[in-house]
């Protein structure tokens, strides 16, 4: 399993431009808002948590299409399924690789972006705290959707249509935790959703992967 993960990370490193594309998309999309709405600090700080969350969501979708697509096309998927890991294990490994190469960098770059959007500095740690389970959930659900849409003719279009509705509750509680004066309840909801998705998403993804490999 560790060997597979190492290989994934090495491939992500070799294709660094793909990995960087998601980050740059995140930065540019979030930067568009001050241009559109004007530099007024009050407006910007009010929308900052939502903008950062939505842009992170969209940016994390970008690499999902190739996550299994490349392996499907060159025959590596069969080898992954025959590696001795369960199909769910393969999906978990891909999820972890996606989070390490996309979720975690997005999380790190979210702090300076939030400050740029005039978010009060004391609210930034809470934003990052909500994005931590948020990006993990996105990796889990996104990888699952990637496995489900594998082999579909317009998988790049289908994938956001599956992932984004599932992410709506996460978005609601994530943004609520940042803006609310009592962030504990939405944070616990996020944690609960993470605990729910952690076993279920790889399981569903694994079943989809087996079906795609047939």
Least distance CB 71 / other proteins (angstroms): 8
Binding test (CB under 8 A) with other proteins, winner from 51, 55, 81, 166: 81
The encoded tokens of residue 149 equal 């849409």
Which residue in 55, 71, 65 sits closest to 157, CA to CA? 65
Q: Which long-range contacts (CB under 8 A, 24 or more apart) does 106-109 make?
A: 106/22, 106/23, 106/26, 106/56, 106/59, 106/60, 106/131, 106/135, 107/56, 107/131, 107/132, 107/135, 109/23, 109/26, 109/27
85 binds other proteins (CB under 8 A): yes
Pick 79 or 168: Cβ nearer other proteins: 79
Pick 50 or 151: Cβ nearer other proteins: 151
Least distance CB 83 / other proteins (angstroms): 7
127 binds other proteins (CB under 8 A): no
Binding test (CB under 8 A) with other proteins, winner from 31, 43, 45, 83: 83
Number of residues that bind other proteins (CB under 8 A): 20
9 binds other proteins (CB under 8 A): no
Taking residue 113's Cβ as centre, other Cβ atoms within 10 Å add up to 22
The encoded tokens of residue 59 equal 């940016």
Rounded to the nearest 5 degrees, what angle is found at the Cα of 135, between the Cα atoms of 110 and 201?
A: 170
153 binds other proteins (CB under 8 A): no
Binding map of other proteins across residues 14-43, x = CB under 8 A, - = no contact:
xx----------------------------
Query: If you ran DSSP here, which 8-state letter would residue 75 be given?
Result: T
Interaction site with other proteins (CB under 8 A) = 7, 10-11, 14-15, 73-76, 78-79, 81-86, 89, 213-214
């Amino acid at each position: 399993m560790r060997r597979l993960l190492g290989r994934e990370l090495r491939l992500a490193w070799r294709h660094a431009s793909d990995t960087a594309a998601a980050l740059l998309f995140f930065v540019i999309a979030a930067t568009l808002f001050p241009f559109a709405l004007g530099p007024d600090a009050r407006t910007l700080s009010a929308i900052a948590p939502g903008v950062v969350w939505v842009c992170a969501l969209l940016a994390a979708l970008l690499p999902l299409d190739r996550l299994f697509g490349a392996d499907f096309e060159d025959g590596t998927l069969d080898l992954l399924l025959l590696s001795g890991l369960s199909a769910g294990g393969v999906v978990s490994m891909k999820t972890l690789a996606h989070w390490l190469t996309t979720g975690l960098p997005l999380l790190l770059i979210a702090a300076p972006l939030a400050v740029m959007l005039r978010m009060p500095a004391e609210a930034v740690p809470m934003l990052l705290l909500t994005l931590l389970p948020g990006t993990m959930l996105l990796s889990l659900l996104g990888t699952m959707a990637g496995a489900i849409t594998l082999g579909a003719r317009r998988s790049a279009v289908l994938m956001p249509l599956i992932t984004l509705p599932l992410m709506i509750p996460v978005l609601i509680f994530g943004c609520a935790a940042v803006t609310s004066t009592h962030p504990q309840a939405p944070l616990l909801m996020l944690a609960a959703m993470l605990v729910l998705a952690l076993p279920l998403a790889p399981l569903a993804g694994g079943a989809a992967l087996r079906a795609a490999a047939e």
